Amino acid sequence: MSFVWRRLLGTVPSLIGVVVVTFLLSHALPGDPAAYFAGPAANATSIAQIRAKLGLDRSLPVQFLQYIVDLVHGNLGNSLTTGQPVLTDLIQRLPASIELTFFALAFAVVIAIPMGVWAATRPDSLADHFCRATVSVAAAFPTFFVGLLLVYVFYFLLGVAPEPVGRLNEILYTPPARVTGMYTVDSLISGDWQTFLASLAQLVLPAISLGLFALAPIARITRASMLQALGSDFTRTARAGGLPRSKILVTYAFRNALLPVSNVLGMVFSFLLGSNVLIEQVYGWQGIGAYAVTAVLASDYAAVQGFVLMMAVLYVLLNLLVDLLGTMIDPRVRFES
């Protein structure tokens, strides 16, 4: 438990820095939120009245102090674009982004880890070069380009993918009763298999588009860790003792390679969660990424600050979870830390 508290206390300075930098950068965005809120037909007087109502006419230090007071009370402010509290918007949209990110990471893991192990067991072979070239090409293309390409091929040309209308085609299907906010999970809970299959079909292309970008770091760290484990003394000793190759590969090499792989999985997940903005735009996904884009375009300070702050907190919690998993995989980490 002391290990957990040390990790949590170590994140406090980072969160304070995130709050300060986010506030300053959001207020440096071009555009006037009061003018956006007032509409195109507004005059200077009405804009000034709205600016005073929103508190934007006060000095920056006063606005920052008010922002800190609101944060202490759990108030992230109200969004100008939706008219709702920012915290409510984020909680409503976060499960959609988590669902997409989870499936994207699952797709990347299923391909990247076996590929990395395969390349490590055959170093400098044709298979090794093929794996390295594959992951390099997968990471070379921007996610939005891959997303558009997949939509063009599988929806427009082949007609095998559903229409990219978001999480579910609500003309044909009714969203499941909200329990977790993730359509695949909620439809399984309610026993609605048609909605489950429909929501799963909507996930395939965006998850592949996002997951291809995560292939490279996972495959490379798996290959490097496996090479180090296969070349270590304990593996050579096990091999000299006549143990089966499969036991050496799984029990000795792969288990010791899991620690760096688990570390990179946590970082990749948090990175994908915050960088799926373009994929959500391409597929009409109603997640926090699309919400953040709308907030930036509208200079919606409260929404931008809330989005960045939530991403920072999630990143901290994910890294804490990775540290805890690391101590379960290798207890020496706790004592070395």
* Local confidence band at 200 (pLDDT 50, 70, 90 cut-offs): very high
Adjacent-strand bridge partners of 78: 85
Amino acid (1-letter code) at residue 204: V
Alpha-carbon span 107 to 120, nearest angstrom: 20
| CB-based contact 183:100 (threshold 8 Å) | no
- Give the residue numbers spanning the domain of 174: 94-288+312-336
- The tens digit of pLDDT for each residue in 149-194 reads 999 999 888 888 888 888 888 888 889 988 998 999 999 999 889 9
First to last CA, the chain: 14
Nearest partner of 202 among 245, 171, 243, judged by Cα: 171
Of 79-88, 246-255, 287-296, give the lowest mean pLDDT range: 246-255
Q: Per-residue DSSP letters for 222-246?
A: HHHHHHHHHTSHHHHHHHHTT--HH
Q: What are phi and psi of 232, to 5 degrees?
A: -80, 165
Mean pLDDT for the chain overall? 82
47 belongs to a structural domain: no
48 belongs to a structural domain: no
Alpha-carbon span 20 to 28, nearest angstrom: 13
Residue 176: DSSP 8-state? P
135 belongs to a structural domain: yes
3 belongs to a structural domain: no
169 belongs to a structural domain: yes
- The tens digit of pLDDT for each residue in 104-124 reads 999 999 998 888 888 888 888
Length of the chain: 337
What total of structural domains would you count in the chain? Answer: 1
Residue 242 has pLDDT above 80, yes or no: no
328 belongs to a structural domain: yes
Alpha-carbon span 181 to 95, nearest angstrom: 5
- Tell me the whole-structure pTM to 2 decimals: 0.80
- The mean per-residue pLDDT over the stretch 43-64 comes to 76
Tokens of 335: 């004592």
Alpha-carbon span 258 to 265, nearest angstrom: 10
Alpha-carbon span 91 to 103, nearest angstrom: 19
Nearest partner of 182 among 285, 43, 326, 70, judged by Cα: 285
| CB-based contact 318:129 (threshold 8 Å) | no
212 belongs to a structural domain: yes
- The tens digit of pLDDT for each residue in 268-288 reads 887 788 778 888 888 888 888
67 belongs to a structural domain: no
* Helix axes 193-230 and 255-275, enclosed angle (nearest 10): 130
CATH number for the domain including 159? 1.10.3720.10
| CB-based contact 311:274 (threshold 8 Å) | yes
